[in-house]
Amino acid sequence: MTILALAAFVGIGSFAAGLLGSLTGLGGGIIVVPMLIYVFHVDFRYAVGASLVSIIATSSGAAAAYVREGYTNVRVGILLEVATTAGALVGGALTGIIDPSILKILFGLLMVFTIYRSLQPRAEHEILSTPDRWAARFRLDSTYPTLEGRQHYSVRNVPGGFVLMFFAGILSALLGIGSGIIKVLAMDQLMRLPFKVSTTTSNFMIGVTAAAGAGVLLHLGYIDPTLAFPVMLGVLAGALIGARILSRANVKWLRQLFTLILVVSAARMLYDGITAVL
């Protein structure tokens, strides 16, 4: 294949991935990497580099829309970014050491977890009102918009959330993903932030985490300009258009398609990784 043909096909595929990722709210990175590996026969490391760069674009583009709505908790975001950026630097250093077959197994397991989480009903938990010691120390409690006006919420289990965020950072740089699923898990389940605050703050943090990892991958030579440009432009265009048509789209059908892609990719990743290791 020529560079022109590859750029065109990768661009179209990335556009579809960005569109699907933004419409389902599950992000594009987790399907961009398997697409590059299995459809375009790209080496795992080049795929991770190109995917991580595209994540910065979509996170920064989307975060702009969310912060204006007043859901994002900037203090929680910045505090936890200490953990995610440190994790991303560690993850970047580990990419050169860990065998890509092991990383494929890890990727497959994360996809299985993503499928599991996306199938669970999304119930809003009770909003806490009494501050925890760490939350008070770092003044993390805030308010968020509801139908009855801005409601106050408290944050708990800051150390637990911090540790989980460190691992989210490692996975982001190792696998070229935003690891939003783990970030939301830390904030929603452990720290008990309202769900909408968790998802918007996660999106706000993804770009910073990915930037830390991408800096390291750039120095390792994982970011190839010829491969990265169609991925970045395609995913960005797909995500921007996805955000515009979100209210009109049939999300249920798209989520099923996304789950199907994840199931097939996860099976392939796990099979490849395990057979290569054995």
Partner 1 sequence: MTQPEARWSDHAVEQIIGRLLQIGVLLAAAVVIVGAALLLVNHGASPASYSEFRGEPSELRTVAGIVRGAAAFHAAAIVQLGLVLLIATPIARVGFTLVAFILQRDRTYVWITTLVLILLLFGLVFGRGAA
For partner 1, the binding residues in 168-187 under the rule CB under 8 A are 173
Residue 12 sits in the site that holds partner 1 (CB under 8 A): no
- Give the interface segment with partner 1, choosing from 84-92, 126-134, 245-253, 264-272 (CB under 8 A): 84-92
Question: Which residue lies nearer to partner 1 by CB, 175 or 236?
Answer: 236
Lookup: tokens for 116: 């599991």
Stretch in the footprint of partner 1 (CB under 8 A) among 123-131, 154-162, 191-199, 232-240: 232-240
Q: How far is it, in rounded angstroms, from Cα 189 to Cα 177?
A: 21
DSSP 8-class letter at 185: I
User: Residue 23 or residue 212: which is nearer to partner 1 going by CB?
Assistant: 212
CB of 5 to partner 1, least distance (A): 8
Q: Does 165 bind partner 1 (CB under 8 A)?
A: no
Q: Which of 18, 26, 35, 45 binds partner 1 (CB under 8 A)?
A: 45
Burial class (CB in 10 A: 0-12, 13-18, 19+), 120: exposed
Beta bridge partners of 150: 145
Residues 120-159 close enough to bind partner 1 by CB under 8 A: 138-139
The single residue among 233, 262, 266, 269 that binds partner 1, judged by CB under 8 A, is: 233
- Give CA–CA dist 194/207, Å, rounded: 21
Residue 266 touches partner 1, criterion: CB under 8 A: no
Could you tell me the smallest distance in angstroms from the CB atom of residue 129 to partner 1? 20
Measured in whole angstroms, the distance separating CA 179 from the mean position of its chain's CA atoms is: 4
Between 125 and 145, CB nearer to partner 1: 145
39 lines the binding site for partner 1 (CB under 8 A): no
Instruction: Determine the distance from the C-alpha atom of residue 123 to the mean position of all C-alpha atoms in its chain, rounded to a whole number.
Output: 21
Which of 212, 266, 269, 270 forms a contact with partner 1 (CB under 8 A)? 212
Among the listed residues 208, 235, 262, 266, the single contact to partner 1 using CB under 8 A: 208
Shortest Å, Cβ 120 to partner 1: 30
**Running DSSP on this structure, what letter comes out for residue 223?**
-
Q: Is 195 in the site for partner 1 (CB under 8 A)?
A: no
Residue 63 Cβ vs partner 1, minimum distance, rounded to whole Å: 6
Long-range contacts of 56-59 (CB under 8 A, 24+ apart): 56/207, 56/210, 56/211, 56/214, 57/232, 57/235, 57/236, 57/239, 58/18, 58/21, 58/22, 58/27, 58/28, 58/235, 58/236, 58/239, 59/178, 59/203, 59/204, 59/206, 59/207, 59/210
According to CB under 8 A, which one of 164, 228, 266, 270 is a site residue for partner 1? 228
Structure tokens of 184?
A: 């939301």
Kindly provide the b/e burial profile for residues 142-157, where b requires at least 16 CB atoms within 10 angstroms of the residue's own CB.
bebeeeeeeeebbbbb
Shortest distance, position 139 Cβ to partner 1, whole Å = 8
Quick check: 17 binds partner 1 (CB under 8 A)? no
Among the candidate windows 14-22, 82-90, 124-132, 250-258, which touches partner 1 by CB under 8 A?
A: 82-90
Which residue do the tokens 């992000």 mark? 27
